[in-house]
Amino acid sequence: MLSTAQERVCTPNVWKGEVIKGIIYLENGDSLQGKFTHLTPYNDIKTTHILYQGPKKKKEAINRKVITAYYDKKLDEFRMKVYVDIDSVHVKKNCFFDQGRFLRVIVKGKYNLLKDELTYQSSITAYSQSSSDEVYYILPPSGILLKVQINDLKAQILSIVKEAGSSNVIAIKEDFTVDDMIEALNYINSN
């Protein structure tokens, strides 16, 4: 969890790092509450570790790759780490950079709905497949991240209903929207 002598701690060279107050969740099942510096939804290529300051006021470095999710108290947001890109780890100057993105969780449950936003780092394909700056992903129990095709929401949700083995039929309108998708996923998760 915490930095060891063998690993190199890389943090961005900034005057003041972004600080989040909240809770981080680690891959070993533990969680830590306090202040976290350099914990951002997208990893800065110069950052391998975030700085944690707990109740004892001592700062410790935590490798970003062991963080699975975090809760930002100020924004009241829960974000889960997923690997959107195929190449998710880059090496530069002997540091391993975890390129997992912390995406905002819109629906939490067996089928998670995650929301991302297009940025200057987004691919041309991502821009061409979206009519807005919002991109959605569904994380089913299989753990395989599914990118939501906004222009084909109805077919995707019907396939998830079938996969979930839901015997109840979800009434799907002709003009199926993101709000309808959220409602459908909440229904699937409750059964």
Q: Is the pTM of this model over 0.75?
A: yes
Q: How far apart are the first and last CA of the chain?
A: 36
pLDDT for 92 beyond 70: no
Nearest to 172 by CA among 188, 110, 163, 117: 188
pLDDT tens for 132-187 read: 678 899 999 888 898 888 777 888 888 887 766 655 556 666 777 888 889 888 88
pLDDT tens for 39-57 read: 989 887 778 899 999 887 7
Answer for the pair 103, 41: CB distance below 8 angstroms, yes or no.
Answer: yes
pLDDT tens for 2-20 read: 555 456 788 777 788 889 9
Answer for the pair 37, 50: CB distance below 8 angstroms, yes or no.
Answer: yes
Per-domain boundaries in the chain: 1-103, 108-191
Which residues contact residue 155 at a Cβ distance below 8 angstroms, ignoring those fewer than 6 apart?
A: none
